[in-house]
Each structure stands twice: as C-alpha cells, then as structure tokens.
Structure 1
Amino acid sequence: MEHVASILPLPLTLQRLSENAAVRLRRVPAQSQVARRLPPNWDTHSNNVPHPSRTKRNTPSIIYHLAGMSQPDAEFTIPYLAAPWEAPHPWLHRLKIALPDPRGDREERDDYLTEARNRITSAEEDGSLLCYSDGSKRITNGSRRVGAGFLIIRSGQEVSRGKLSLGPRADVFDAEMMALAIAAKRVEYMVSHSHVPPSSILFSSDNQAAVRSIASLKPHTAQCASIIFRKAVDSILTNHPHVHITVQWIPGHSDFDGNNRADSIAKTAGLLTPTPVFNRTITWAKARAKEKAIRSWGKRWRSERHSAHVHITLPKTPTWKLHPIHDRFRAPNAEMRGRELQSRLVQVILGHCFSGAYNLKHRSYNATNVPDPTCPCDSTTIQTIKHVLRECPIYSHARWHLRLGSPSIQMATVFGTLKGLWSLIDFLKDSGAFRFPRSFSD
C-alpha cells in the first residue's frame, strides 16, 4: 500500500525527519540549552551545562545523535535578524520585487512577461544597470558541479561579469541566491565609483523562489546570500536617494539573451576550484536526506518477498511521486469521480480485491460460512484476477476496454503501462468487477 500511495515507510520517515532536524541545529540561538549541549566540536558548546558521560556502552543523547547527522560548519541561519512583524524591507517602492501571480491564467502571465521586457528595454535605453544572474548544477564525471554567475550591462554594453563555484554540497537554489548576492556586491562597487550613477538598477533571475526570498532577512535557506544582497542594496539606496532597484523574474532558456549568457557563465563557474561558504547548505542537506530515503526505500522493496501478482502489478521500485493514474480521480478536473472505483483499482493492483480466490485464502467473512472460491461463470474455475480480466464470459461485454490497452490483455502491459491502467479503470467502471458481494449463497 505504501508503494501505491507513494508514502514513505514509517522507519524511513523517522530517519528523514531526524536528518532534517539535524539541519536545524545551526539555526538554534547560541544561548539556548540545546545549542549549549551540542558536542565539543560545535562552537555553541558549553561546559557549564550537563553533558552525557563519555563511555563506549552509553548510547548518545538525542542531541548528540542529531548532531552526528550534521556538521559544525554547516549553513546557519539567524532566527532574530528581522522581527516577525516587520516588512521584508524598509524601502517601500524604491526596492521592488516583481513576480507573476501564481494563480493567474495564461493571459496574465503574458502581460507580466510584456512588462518584464519593457523594463529591460527601458533600462537599456536610459543608461540603467541591467543585471542578469543564474545558477547551475551539473554532474560531470561523477562529480557535482554547482556554480553561480552574473552579467551586468549598461547602455547595451557588457560592463562586468563574475562567477563563483559553490562546491559539491550546494544546490541550484543556493547558486541562484548567491548569484544575486555577488551581482549586488559588484553593482554597489560600480555605483559608488561611478561619476554618473544610474537612476535605476534592474536584477533579472529565472528562479522565482530566489527572487521572492533575496530581499528578506527573515530566517530561510540561503539567508547568508540575502544578508549580502541587502547590505549592498541598503548601501546603494542610502547613499543615492534617487536610485530605484527592481528584482524581477524572467523565464529561463527563452528569448532573454542576457539570461542565456548568465547561464553559460554559471556553467563555467562550476568547473572552477570550489570556494564554498559553508561545509554544506540547508537545501543540499534536505535534498540529500530525501534522496537517501528514496534509495533506502528501493533497497528495502527489492529485498522483501512479494507475491507473483505484485511482481506483475508493481514492477518498478517505489518513488516519491504519486503515479499519474491517480490524477484521473483528483478534483477539480477529475475524469473519474467516486472513491469506490479508485478503491477497487488499488485493491486489484495489490491483489486484495473481492474475488473467490482471495476470499477463500483470507477468510474474509467468518469461519462457519466460507465463501465459494469458484467463479459463477461455470462453478468449477477458481475466480482469480487473471480469470476475470482475460477469460470470464460474465465480463466479456466490457473486455474491449482492456484490449485498447493491450490487444492480447497481457497482465504486464495492463498493469505496467499508463495506457493499460486507463483501460483497466474503464473496464472496472463498465463491468462492476471485484465489487463487494452484496449476498452470496451458503
């Protein structure tokens, strides 16, 4: 059932939650009791609080156990850098974040892209600074390469560029955030040394999450990049009251030439010698915990014994993503409605459906009234799932649905392909097979 529902088994879920909790140790205030009880190699360790005795037989405390899943030099966040009730920044209209409405339709998205292009065109014409930034993550010769790059244009001419390699224990979101941060630092230097400072500065990134988070000092992943960005932006806006700054999202790998050039810079940055800010980032650690859980789940699934039926109906190892066949039952645009039909589908996949063979095997009713395992079609053939789908004349009128998914009604094709599962749903709906028996003979 966990496989069909894409629900991580409980032991692996607890392990993943523990690893995610270990990541959060670096955001605990330094004077808190948890931080002071961390192992000696952590900078918040204090000898003035009780610690577990160091013996080989004693199991480590929960705090020590979680600390062993993280690293003292992992990415940290500052929980109280900005008060919860404060706005993301104090600059009002002088620092603008431009993002499309996530609930908008295609027409509203097109209108947003038109506005984004108009901002870029205006910035090129009036001598404003136009900054493109991007992040990259690639696997090269088995090694993880993460890089950040940016490009600065003024009056149609490239005036600066930069790049940074973040090392293997970072993710693309960290690269996107750091690209905006180092671009802002370069812009601050250029504006402070310019005889004619620009009237506006436009940052463009193809990562919506980075655009949404970069100006906020509240605790979040890659907060360090936000701190760097805000220090640079605050300096510009303080020393140059006429300057306006906009951070906007633009789609990646599209007709925005500057973004494509920044993407190339970020890819080359990944090949440089890494200069990581932290031993590991929060984003990388959480992604690694998730990938580790999936690998462990697959290994556990392969090592367990399964029935011959399950080997046919669930031929692949479990994944985190729910099978697309369930989209046909999900609102609001579900093709099939009703929990009963979806329940029958899951029961057939697992082999736990209402059939004569299953009822006899599991004593589905009571010991004194054992159901007849034979099929009503001839009262001699055992009513199995394969018999109902391929042979039983009672359901011959609906079997054409199955032949659309597999002309010869091969079980591996019916259960192993999306088209086959669609045909199975239509068969179950039309035939009513494997429904709970309302009555049965003694």
Structure 2
Amino acid sequence: MPVPGLGGREVEQRAKFAVQPHPAETIAVQFQCLESRADVDANSSWEVCVYTDGSKIEDKVGAALSIWVGGVEAKTKKLSLPSYSTVYQAELYALCEAARFAHNSSRSTFGVFSDSRSALETVADSGSAHPLALETRSHIKNSRNQGKIINLYWVKAHAGLQGNERADQLAREAALHSKRKPDYDLCPVSFVKRQIRDQSLREWNGRYVNGEAAATTKVFLPDAIAAYKIVKDLGPKAVLTQVLTGHGGFSEYLYRYKCKGSPSCICDSTTEETLLHVILSCPVYEKNRFDLEQQLGCKLAKESIKEIMADLEKRNGANLLRRVEPREYKRTETEI
C-alpha cells in the first residue's frame, strides 16, 4: 500500500486474515537455544547447516546465508535491503531465505542457526502475522510435507562459532558493497512513524521560530527540534517550567495579571523584575551570577544562555535553572 510522503514505498503490514493459514493447518515451529560450543557441536549432525545473519552498518542493511555441508562451506548467499530497513527485518528475511533454500533443496535434513532470538521467536509464534514469519512457516510446512526435517537454533553472536562468524561477515559485505536492487524492500512501520514524527517536528519548529509568542523561552531554546531533546532529558518540573517561560513569581508577570501592585524589582523601583533581569543584571544576585560565570568559564549573557542549554555538560554542571527560583507570593487585601 503506497504511503503519501514516503516516495511510493510500500509499508510492511500484518498479513490479512484471508491469506493467513486456517488454525487447523497451523504448524508448530520451535527453536532450541544453544548456549555453549558443545551444544552447537551436538546439534550440527545435519546434512546441511545454514547460518543466517543480518547487519546494519553505516546506515546500510544486508543479510546473508552461509551454507555448510560436511563441515565445509558449500555455498553463500548475500541479500540486499534498503537503508530504511531494520536489523530485525534483515534477520527475519535471512531466516525466510534459509527456509526457502531448504524447501527447494534435494537434501533431507537441515539445521538453521541464527543469533537473533527476536526473529526466531517471531517465526515460532503461530499468532504472529508478520509477512516474513508467515512465509517462513509456509516454507517449513511445505518442507515437512516433502518429508524433510528443519530444526531452528539460536546461537550466541560473536562467540567464535565459525559458521555464525562467516554469516556475520557476509551480511556486513552485503550491507556495505551490494549495488543491486533490494531483495526485500517493504518499509517498516518504525520508519513510517519516524518520518511522521520528523515532519511534525519540522512543522512545529517553523511555527515556533517564526511566531511572536514565547519570547522568553526562545532565549533558552531557540530551536524547537533541539528543545525537544533537551526538555525530554531535563524532565518536566514546576520551577523549571516557570523559569523557561518566565511565567512564575516575577513581579512583571504577577503585575500583568493583577496579582501584584507593581512590576518593579526590589533592586530598583524603576526596573521591571523579569526573569532575564534576575538572571543577567539584578545586583541582588550578583554573587550567584559571578560564581556561575566562574564555573562555566564564560560571561553570562542573553546570547550565551542558549549555548549553555545546548551543552549537556554545562547544562548539568551549571544547574542554571535551579539557581533562579520564582519567589512564592501571596496577594494582600490591598493588592486585590
């Protein structure tokens, strides 16, 4: 199904019920976990051992099969996937191709080895409607109908197992060097969600940057996309929200909403007490400001605040947002 905004890519979806096998025709598929080299050796006496792997490196994706007969690699197969694919898809596709190979082979017994437990669990889950899992189970069922035996195994990655290391090498080569058309190109839902999220952030940022509101917030966070990551790291807090917006216990803000009789600061009756005045120039906080500048190694100014916020080390070390806490204020009868 083409998705608008995704260049006509077809999205990988759950298979429809009409194409899924009837429950009475569903086969049980299991896999065994091989924890040690001894376990692997004890389960390698098949006519054919197929090692599968998937890889994503430098934003490129590939998968591969290393097929062994009589303890010797007899055949290899490299598989190409587009850059938007996930490693999970690559691992699943490699398992599917291994089951297809067994179905089309003239031999009778097969051991299929993968280091992706999530892919194996998807294949073994009879309720999974993932299209690759359904196709894999279909190949296994057809092979069993031919009298063949296919056993699935999970093995540890990078544990020195020759076949597994070879499949990993081939998958990397397929990812980095394949120039041909992808063997499997359905777009994962995770990619679609990421595209929608990025598009939403870009639209949000355009409105934020070009809008006239949130003048105080823009001093701290001039870019909404960068702000999304920073605020998520900080976590929402009452005082933090007041400081980032200027909507707190500052005389200018309280006076605007008739919660205080004057907008002036205690340092000077002719100066409005705003958040930026308190942080940047109020003499009452001169010592706090000096100590903070020494800790940061830079002059505290309106232009430098955004740089402090963008720098994780300075942001956490300076604790800027905790140094300026809006004062509690209670309205008196005369101010009401």
- The reply to whether TM is greater than 0.5 is yes
Instruction: Confirm or deny: 8 A CA contact 2:65 2:98 kept in the other structure.
Output: yes
Q: Which residue of 2 aligns with 1:8?
A: none
What is the DSSP-based 3-state SS (H/G/I as helix, E as strand, rest coil) of the residue aligned with 1:260?
helix
Rounded to whole Å, the distance in 2 between the matches of 1:371 and 1:117 is 79
From 115, 119, 122, give the equivalent of 1:204. Answer: 115
Q: Which residue of 2 aligns with 1:414?
A: 308
Say yes or no: does 1:78 pair with 2:38.
no
Instruction: Confirm or deny: 8 A CA contact 1:132 1:259 kept in the other structure.
Output: yes
Rounded to whole Å, the distance in 2 between the matches of 1:83 and 1:347 is 59
Instruction: Confirm or deny: 8 A CA contact 2:81 2:185 kept in the other structure.
Output: yes
Aligned-residue offset at 1:166: 4.3
Rounded to whole Å, the distance in 2 between the matches of 1:328 and 1:169 is 30
Q: Deviations over 1:274-302 (max 9, x none)?
A: 45565x55454444333333333333334
Q: Which residue of 2 aligns with 1:352?
A: 247
Rounded to whole Å, the distance in 2 between the matches of 1:165 and 1:152 is 18
Consecutive unaligned residues in structure 2, runs of 5 or more = none
From 225, 244, 252, give the equivalent of 2:132. Answer: 225
Rounded to whole Å, the distance in 2 between the matches of 1:247 and 1:419 is 42
From 102, 107, 112, give the equivalent of 1:193. Answer: 107
Q: Which residue of 1 aligns with 2:202?
A: 295
For residues 371 and 437 of structure 1, do their structure 2 counterparts lie closer, same or farther at Cα, with a shift above 3 Å needed?
same
What is the DSSP-based 3-state SS (H/G/I as helix, E as strand, rest coil) of the residue aligned with 2:97?
helix
Q: Which AA in structure 1 matches 2:15?
A: I
Q: Deviations over 1:354-401 (max 9, x none)?
A: 2122223x3252xxxx43222223444322223322443444565435
Q: Which residue of 1 aligns with 2:272?
A: 382
Consecutive unaligned residues in structure 1, runs of 5 or more = 1-22, 27-65, 99-113, 140-144, 330-338
Aligned-residue offset at 1:226: 0.9
Aligned-residue offset at 1:123: 5.1
For residues 383 and 76 of structure 1, do their structure 2 counterparts lie closer, same or farther at Cα, with a shift above 3 Å needed?
closer
What is the DSSP-based 3-state SS (H/G/I as helix, E as strand, rest coil) of the residue aligned with 1:244?
strand
Aligned-residue offset at 1:182: 0.8
Rounded to whole Å, the distance in 2 between the matches of 1:173 and 1:187 is 21
Instruction: Confirm or deny: 8 A CA contact 1:312 1:416 kept in the other structure.
Output: no
Instruction: Confirm or deny: 8 A CA contact 1:148 1:269 kept in the other structure.
Output: no
Instruction: Confirm or deny: 8 A CA contact 2:92 2:119 kept in the other structure.
Output: yes
Q: Which residue of 2 aligns with 1:260?
A: 168
Q: Which residue of 2 aligns with 1:129?
A: 49
Aligned-residue offset at 1:134: 0.6
Rounded to whole Å, the distance in 2 between the matches of 1:307 and 1:320 is 13
From 68, 74, 80, give the equivalent of 1:165. Answer: 80
Write out aligned runs for 1:253-402 (5 A).
Answer: 257-267=165-175, 270-276=178-184, 282-318=189-225, 322-323=229-230, 327=233, 342-360=237-255, 362-363=256-257, 365=259, 370-395=260-285, 398-399=288-289, 400-401=291-292
Rounded to whole Å, the distance in 2 between the matches of 1:70 and 1:219 is 28
| Higher-strand-fraction structure | 2
Q: Which residue of 2 aligns with 1:55?
A: none
Write out aligned runs for 1:403-442 (5 A).
Answer: 403-409=294-300, 410-423=304-317, 425=319, 428=322, 433-438=325-330, 442=335
Q: Which residue of 2 aligns with 1:175?
A: 90
